[in-house]
Chain A
C-alpha cells in the first residue's frame, strides 16, 4: 500500500514542477497514441467520420490534424 500511497501523494502534488511535467509528458504520449491509432484506422479503411466519432471530435478537426501526413496529396510540413 505504501507505493500506492506514494503515487497518490505525487499525483496530488502541490509542486507545480512535478504536476506540469506530468501533464506535458501525458500530452506528448496522447499525441503519439492518437497519431498511431488514426494512421492505423485509415490504413484499415476507416473514414474520417468514423474516426472522429470515436475520438469525440468533429470530422473536420480530425481531418485537419491528421490528413496532412498521409496519402499522395499530403502536405509538406
Chain B
C-alpha cells in the first residue's frame, strides 16, 4: 500500500520510525506516527495541528510524560524508597553512573535491545490499523493517493491510541480537527 503514499506521507512514516528509534521503543505506535507528521512543519497535518497549539516539541513532551506514567511499559523504575530502606542512596549511584555513561544510563532496560541504529522497527497493530484507515479516508474523499493529511485522519478515526490521547489532552476537539483536515484536503 505504500506505493500510493505521497512523498510527505512517506516522509511521515520515515520520521515515525526515527522517533521510535530515538525513544528506544521496539514498536512504531500511533504516537510515533503523530510525531512523524509533526516533524514536517509545512505539511497539511502539522499546519492544522499547529493552529491548535500542538507542535512537535509539545507532542514529544506529552508522549514522554504519558509513557513514564504508564506502568509495565518500557524500563521498570528502580524503587528509590525501597533501596533507601536498606541504606542505599539511588541518587548517589545514578550520579556516578551517569557521570561515566551519560544521562539515562541507569534507566534503560537491559533486556531490550538498545542499539537498533538502522534496524527495522515493526508497526504496532494499532499503527498498522491507522495506515489502513488512512487509505480508507483517502478513498472516502475520492483521492487516489495518501497524503500526510489522510494519515492524520486515520489517527483520528482509530481514536484509541496514544496519539489520540495526546491530541485530546492538548485540548483539541477531535471532531473539529477532523472537519478542518477534510476541508484542507478538499
Contact = CB atoms under 8 A, between A and B. Distances in A.
Contact of A24 (B82, B110, B111): B82
Contacts, number: 73
Interface in A34-48: 34-36, 40
B138 to A, nearest CB: 33
B114 interface: yes
B86 interface: yes
Interface in B30-83: 76, 78-83
B108 A69 contact: no
B110 A13 contact: no
Q: Which of A18, A24, A29, A33 has the most chain B CB atoms inside 10 A of its CB?
A: A29
Contacts of B170: none
Contacts of A33: 97, 106
A34 B110 contact: yes
B6 interface: no
B82 A25 contact: yes
- DSSP majority for the A interface? helix
Contacts of B87: 7-8, 10-11
Interface in A1-38: 7-8, 10-11, 13, 18, 21-22, 24-26, 28-29, 31-36
Contacts of A25: 78-80, 82-83, 90
Given A21-B79, A32-B108, A26 B88 contact: yes
B112 interface: yes
Given A11-B86, A21-B82, A29 B93 contact: yes
B79 A69 contact: no
Contacts of B109: 32
A36 B99 CA distance: 13
B82 A22 contact: yes
A18 to B, nearest CB: 6
Nearest to B79: A25
